[in-house]
């Protein structure tokens, strides 16, 4: 460990001492406030004097001057103090910053916080086994993986899990369409990844479904209700009558939508899918066998995608194992009058006092709803991980659901209720509009990643940056650049904001992109490699800093602060921005000050070391968020 002390600690400790020795005032370090200095002051920080004036019985300027003089005597590195009204601006000497570089910034453990006792569980990805992962999943996965790395870097004990939605009517749709095709396709026979093959049949189901729904509507309009029960007929006639009489345009749209939904729910293929779901729930051997086979195809496909993205999970949960969980908890809550029953035996909770509404937690026939199994799964996760905080990385369309889940767990007095946190993020749009899984218009995650890798290949070859690389090394570089561009673009904005993904913009060498930062890092590695072969002669004792050199050091110094804020706010975008700022400022330094043709040997040696420190922090920022920084580009 070095003896280096951060300037905040030095100033805080000595301000407490100054007030005691100068004015016989006892304060705690928490009562010392340090702010960013004014832009026109070349210094490190501003000490707020106002709170002390009522004790010193002197003017703010005189109090500041006395404290400033004391600090200069006690802290050798202070170059200048300036009292302005109720503020004391403080500037440190160049020697302080050179010591910071040698004793702190160059250490591999620079800015690494002490381990924290708090345990955090992050749930993310949570795919369905009826389709491949798509662009929406990619943002979820990138955010979840970045949160994991960020919180681990900040010293937390972090675990991850993935809840796989592997049961339900949507899964049966793919299974049924596969059966009806009669082709007996497998991933091996079709040449498709398993998740893509199953997704193909999910789209196929929807085509048949829509065709049958259209035919159903045409029959109903002609008065033909063959195969339909009386309740469906009566409901259609009631909706059609309202549609024919209403003059309200908005009401007409709602009625037309309700009629279409009624037709879809009463198609022959939908009846078959519901029958298959009943067989699954009854444990029908043939249905379960097909379900296991097709789900395994999907799992194998997901594994390939996760590996490509550099993601792993500590635990997988499956809805087929958890969908019955929570029912006992509901019964316990009924006895404690947290829930109540209606006449049809359905169980509800009244959350109107909390500004929400009444929420169904158990159907009249005793079957679970989503919130039921989420209650049970939350309890299961706590029993296995004993986490202090449980983070769910789920899109903002589920905001209401997680408000309800947390409220219910709080009312049940579950020990993990307070630690439940919904990490809500905005959706991803494309220039062509929203994605639709059923229509097969989603941007497949594998295709997207391949597109980004090929775009990186094209750009890298165009710049002539692959000379001397083997084919394997070249493709590894394309992958690092392409996937880095994708992840950086998805992380660079506040997670809560909706995002418009633009592949071309994401890989711009001169923009706010991973490519820009990676290129700066590769430049640094080239400099360090050259430095190994260059003999530096002359005095290596540097005494003064150029303003840009000092600015770079001051930025590096802020690593711990940025890490702490990013972890507290759960905002990976702050680290992305920080890495970009390092790269941008380093490029400016490189453009204005020569390294190997510097005025003195001391300047050359110092700038080599400063380059190394910048490279180390860029790499740390990238690695914690799931990105890579290549040694050459």
How confident is the model over 180-186, as a mean pLDDT? Answer: 96
> If pLDDT is split at 50, 70 and 90, which confidence band does 435 have?
very low
Residue finishing a domain among 237, 265, 293: 265
Q: Give residue for tokens 């050798």.
A: 76
pLDDT (mean) for 477-502: 94
Task: Give the model's confidence band at 538: pLDDT under 50 very low, under 70 low, under 90 confident, else very high.
Answer: confident
> What is the distance between the alpha carbons of residues 123 and 604, in angstroms, rounded to a whole number?
48
Domain span including residue 57: 7-92
CB atoms < 10 A from the CB of 293, how many?
Answer: 13
How far does CA 572 lie from the centroid of its chain? 7
This prediction has a pTM of 0.92
- Sign, CA dihedral 576-578-581-582, equals negative
User: By C-alpha distance, which of 616, 589, 588, 599 is closest to 542?
Assistant: 599
Hey, which of 134-138, 419-423, 494-498 has the most confident mean pLDDT?
419-423
Quick check: is 431 in a domain?
no
Of the chain, the percentage scoring pLDDT greater than 90 comes to 88
Grade residue 2 by pLDDT with cuts at 50, 70 and 90: low
Domain boundary among 217, 241, 265: 265
Pick from 435-439, 560-564, 629-633: least confident: 435-439
- The residues that bridge with 47 in the sheet, in sequence order, are 34, 88
Q: Which residues contact 128 (CB under 8 A, 6 or more apart)?
A: 165, 166, 170, 171
Note whether residue 34 is domain-resident. Answer: yes
**Residue 308 belongs to some domain of the structure:** no
Other Cβ atoms within 10 Å of 124 Cβ, number = 25
Give the chain's mean pLDDT.
94
Does pLDDT of 268 surpass 80? yes
The string of pLDDT tens digits covering residues 315-347 is 999 999 999 999 999 999 999 999 999 999 999
Secondary structure letter of residue 103 according to DSSP: I
Check: CB of residue 127 under 8 Å from CB of residue 137: yes
pLDDT mean over 141-167 = 98
What are the CA-CA distances from residue 10 to residues 5, 77, 106, 109, 402 (Å)? 7, 10, 21, 21, 45
User: Span 43-60, mean pLDDT?
Assistant: 94
Cα–Cα distance measured from residue 453 to residue 485, given in angstroms and rounded to the nearest whole number = 9
Whether 35 is in a domain gets the answer yes
Rounded to whole angstroms, the Cα distance separating 49 from 421 reads: 39
Return the CATH number at 17: 3.30.1360.70
Assess whether pLDDT exceeds 50 at residue 189: yes
> Which has more confidence, 538 or 286?
286
SS (H, E, C) 299-343: HHHHHHHHHHHCCCCCEEEEHHHHCCCCHHHHHHHHHCCCCEECC
Q: Report the range of poorest mean pLDDT among 37-51, 95-109, 349-363, 456-470.
A: 456-470
Q: Of all residues in the chain, what percent carry a pLDDT higher than 70?
A: 98
Does residue 432 have a pLDDT over 80?
A: no
Same domain for 13 and 85: yes
Helices in 154-193 by DSSP H: which ranges? 169-181, 187-190
Three-class SS of residue 163? strand
Domain contains 221:
no
More confident residue, 1 or 587: 587
Domain count, the chain: 3
- Give the mean model confidence (pLDDT) for residues 464-485: 92
pLDDT at 569 over 50: yes
**Same domain flag for 16 and 88:** yes
Angle at the Cα of 297 (from 292 to 302), degrees rounded to 5?
120
Strand-pair partners of 160? 122
| Of 75, 92, 109, the domain-final residue | 92
Residue 6 exposed, middle or buried by CB count within 10 Å (0-12, 13-18, 19+): middle
pLDDT of 439 reads: 46
Per-residue pLDDT, 501: 86
Does 79 reside within a domain? yes
Task: Examine residue 354 and state whether it is found in any structural domain, yes or no.
Answer: yes
Summarize the chain as % helix, strand, coil (round to 5). Answer: 60, 10, 30
Whole-number pLDDT of residue 434? 44
Looking at the structure, tell me whether residues 259 and 335 fall in a common domain: no
Which residues of 446-603 form beta strands (DSSP E)?
499-500
Higher per-residue pLDDT: 613 or 467: 613
| Both tokens assigned to 103 | 């004793």
Tokens of 205: 């189901």
* Alpha carbons 100 and 609: distance in angstroms, whole number: 12
Among the ranges given (182-196, 223-237, 441-455, 549-563), the one the predictor scored with the smallest mean pLDDT = 441-455
Could you please report the per-residue DSSP string of 365-406? TS-B-HHHHHHHHHHHHHHHH--SEEEEEEEGGGHHHHHHHH
In whole angstroms, give the CA distance from residue 65 to residue 86: 10
> How high is the pLDDT of residue 436?
43
Q: What mean pLDDT comes out for the span 140-166?
A: 98
Does residue 464 belong to any structural domain of this protein?
Answer: no
pLDDT at 150 over 80: yes
Q: Which residue, chain included where needed, has tokens 């202090």?
A: 388
> Token pair of 431, please?
């220039």
Supply the pLDDT for residue 40: 85
């Amino acid at each position: 460990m070095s003896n280096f002390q951060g300037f905040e600690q030095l100033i805080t400790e000595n301000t407490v001492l100054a007030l005691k020795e100068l004015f016989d005032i006892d304060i705690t370090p928490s009562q010392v406030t340090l702010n960013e200095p004014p832009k026109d002051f070349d210094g490190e920080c501003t000490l707020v004097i106002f709170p002390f004036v009522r004790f010193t019985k002197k003017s703010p300027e005189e109090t500041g001057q006395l404290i400033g003089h004391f600090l200069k005597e006690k802290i050798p590195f202070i170059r200048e103090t300036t009292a302005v009204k109720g503020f004391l601006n403080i500037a440190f000497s160049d020697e302080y910053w050179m010591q910071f570089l040698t004793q702190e910034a160059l250490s591999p453990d620079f800015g690494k916080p002490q381990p924290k006792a708090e345990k955090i569980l992050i749930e993310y990805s949570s795919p369905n086994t009826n389709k491949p992962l798509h662009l929406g999943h990619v943002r979820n996965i990138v955010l979840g993986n970045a949160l994991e790395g960020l919180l681990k870097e900040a010293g937390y004990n972090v675990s991850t899990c993935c809840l796989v939605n592997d049961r339900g009517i949507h899964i049966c749709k793919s299974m049924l369409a596969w059966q009806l095709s009669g082709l007996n396709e497998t991933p091996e026979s079709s040449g498709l990844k398993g998740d893509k093959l199953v997704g193909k049949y999910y789209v196929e189901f929807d085509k048949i479904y829509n065709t049958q729904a259209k035919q159903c509507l045409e029959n109903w309009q002609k008065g033909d209700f063959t195969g339909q029960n009386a309740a469906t007929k009566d409901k259609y006639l009631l909706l059609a009558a309202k549609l024919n009489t209403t003059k309200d345009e908005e009401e007409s749209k709602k009625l037309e939508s309700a009629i279409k939904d009624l037709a879809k729910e009463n198609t022959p293929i939908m009846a078959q899918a519901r029958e298959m779901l009943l067989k699954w729930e009854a444990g029908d051997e043939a249905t379960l066998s097909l379900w296991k086979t097709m789900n395994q195809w999907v799992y194998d496909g997901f594994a390939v995608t996760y590996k490509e993205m550099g993601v792993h999970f500590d635990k997988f949960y499956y809805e087929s194992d958890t969908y019955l969980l929570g029912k006992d908890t509901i019964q316990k809550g009924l006895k404690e009058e947290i829930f109540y029953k209606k006449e049809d035996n359905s169980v509800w909770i009244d959350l109107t006092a909390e500004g929400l509404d009444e929420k169904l937690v158990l159907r009249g026939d005793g079957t679970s709803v989503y919130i039921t199994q989420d209650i049970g799964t939350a309890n299961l996760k706590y029993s296995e991980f004993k986490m202090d905080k449980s983070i769910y990385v789920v899109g903002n369309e589920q905001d209401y659901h997680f408000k309800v889940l947390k409220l219910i767990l709080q009312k049940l007095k579950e020990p993990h209720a307070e630690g439940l946190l919904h990490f809500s993020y905005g959706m991803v749009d494309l220039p062509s509009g929203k994605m639709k899984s059923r229509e097969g218009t989603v941007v497949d995650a594998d295709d997207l990643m391949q597109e980004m890798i090929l775009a990186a290949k094209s750009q890298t070859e165009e710049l002539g940056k692959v000379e001397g690389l083997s084919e394997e090394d070249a493709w590894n570089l394309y992958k690092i650049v392409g996937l880095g561009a994708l992840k950086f673009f998805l992380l660079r904005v506040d997670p809560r904001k909706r995002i418009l993904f633009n592949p071309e913009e994401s890989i711009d060498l001169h923009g706010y992109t991973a490519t820009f930062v990676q290129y700066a890092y590769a430049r640094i590695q080239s400099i360090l490699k050259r430095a190994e072969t260059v003999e530096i002669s002359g005095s290596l004792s540097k005494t003064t800093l150029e303003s840009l050199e000092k600015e770079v050091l001051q930025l590096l110094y802020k690593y711990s602060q940025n890490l702490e804020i990013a972890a507290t706010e759960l905002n990976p975008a702050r680290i992305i921005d920080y890495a970009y700022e390092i790269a941008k400022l380093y490029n400016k330094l490189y453009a204005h000050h020569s390294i190997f043709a510097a005025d003195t040997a001391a300047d050359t040696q110092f700038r080599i070391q400063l380059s190394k420190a910048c490279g180390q922090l860029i790499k740390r920022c990238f690695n914690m968020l799931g990105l890579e920084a290549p040694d050459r580009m």
